[in-house]
Amino acid sequence: MERLIFHVDVNSAYLSWEAARRVREGGEDLRQIPAAIGGDPEKRTGVILAKSIPAKKYNVRTGEPVAMALRKCPQLILARPDFRLYEACSRAFMDVCLRYAPVVEKFSIDECFLDMSGTGRIYPDPVAVAHTIKDEIRDTLGFTVNIGISRNKLLAKMASDFEKPDKVHTLFPAEMQDKLWPLPVRELFTVGQATAQKLERAYVRSIGDLARMDLKRLQALVGVKLGEQLHAYANGIDPSPVLAQPEEAKGYSISTTLERDVTTQEEAYRVLLALSDSVAMRMRADGYKACCVAVTIRGNDFKNRAHQKKLSDPTDITSEIYGISKRLFAELWDGRTPLRLLGIALTSITRENYAQQSLFPDRDREKARKLDRAIDGIRSRYGSDTIGRGSILHGTESVGRKYKAQLASRDKEKKPEKPTKGQ
């Protein structure tokens, strides 16, 4: 049975979703004017996340600072991001896809793959059913998508990126020579800017040039693994399946771009504490432990530095991850370069509950584990903002007093003056 894969991609997703909401409420359609989704111009996280086609004519670019975009287009209308709206719109368009495809894989918040293999008797014309899906999303949800059709995920994704918006395109293997190979090499999926520059300096200008290139020469240029992947992609080869369920996590990571530079170790430790707390809680919720902790820093020179430590015993304990992160950070940072980004990654994860045996149980470790469970329970019941970990800097006892006081306060508000029997 021949494979048949659709790739559905929302056109300018964040802006389209905000525009659709405003149109429903009687407002102006942001897609028809110079407009963009972006953060606060005063903050470093204020970048353009999505833009309208009229904004593109002013050379407004996704990923550039909001302030720069406003200099290019002073009349640019800005809307703040609304991730609750985006999640709702994402679920809505994927629900439409699920009515047509046996298997749907969410690839990102605004794109998914549909495995339509074997549906020929129900939908004899793939292009016609793609138009049906596209039009239903537009007419019922108020925003548009592009749909690419091919025999594998790579070619379907490349096809959906052809002319936009609100289009259906095919890119079957027989069409590659006319539709894919003439494109600039930097347009091939997974070719980043640095790789594109290497290829172009070697006179590999088009995807066709890359497809015809000697594999060993390519690997010498970009590396063995990447060279093999790019050569396969340029020739339209991609055997990866459409997965109905996401693959198991291979690790957990978190990072933050800081609103102002961090210049002291104490400030950095506060950030690392918050990051450790967040990423460890996520990992515990999935039932994993990590055998490796890594810390990444980025200075205001925009250079990334990273350091990692492999652990003899896997851990999911926040205080342990935080302690390791502090030591890694101290080895990484020279204390002179101001920092604009900090990150933590937990990798080599496992569900196994093994540890080195000892004649003497580690009571402090068990106390820390119980503390984590208690804090996770409070947050799951009352919300993530109910309790913070700032007081861990002064020991776990003060944290215990803090959450006990909060619970006592809540119980005092909820309980009647005279408790009934059994309370």
Do residues 406 and 387 lie in contact, with contact meaning Cβ atoms separated by under 8 Å? yes
What CA–CA distances, in Å, run from 266 to 194, 271, 275, 327? 36, 9, 14, 13
Do residues 94 and 114 lie in contact, with contact meaning Cβ atoms separated by under 8 Å? no
* Residue found by looking up tokens 């909001």 in the block: 66
Give the pair of three-digit tokens for residue 309: 């430590």
Do residues 157 and 148 lie in contact, with contact meaning Cβ atoms separated by under 8 Å? yes
266 burial level (CB within 10 Å; 0-12, 13-18, 19+): exposed
Torsional class of 363: left (φ above 0), alpha (ψ -120 to 50), beta (otherwise): alpha
Strand order in the sheet with 35-38: 48-51, 35-38, 77-79
CA distance 318 to 326: 12
Query: Catalytic annotation on 111?
Result: yes
Identify the helix (H) or strand (E) that includes residue 112: strand 111-115
CA distance 359 to 150: 61
Give the pair of three-digit tokens for residue 102: 């046996």
Q: Which residue out of 111, 163, 228, 417 is catalytically annotated?
A: 111
Identify the helix (H) or strand (E) that includes residue 261: strand 251-262
Which amino acids are annotated catalytic? 111
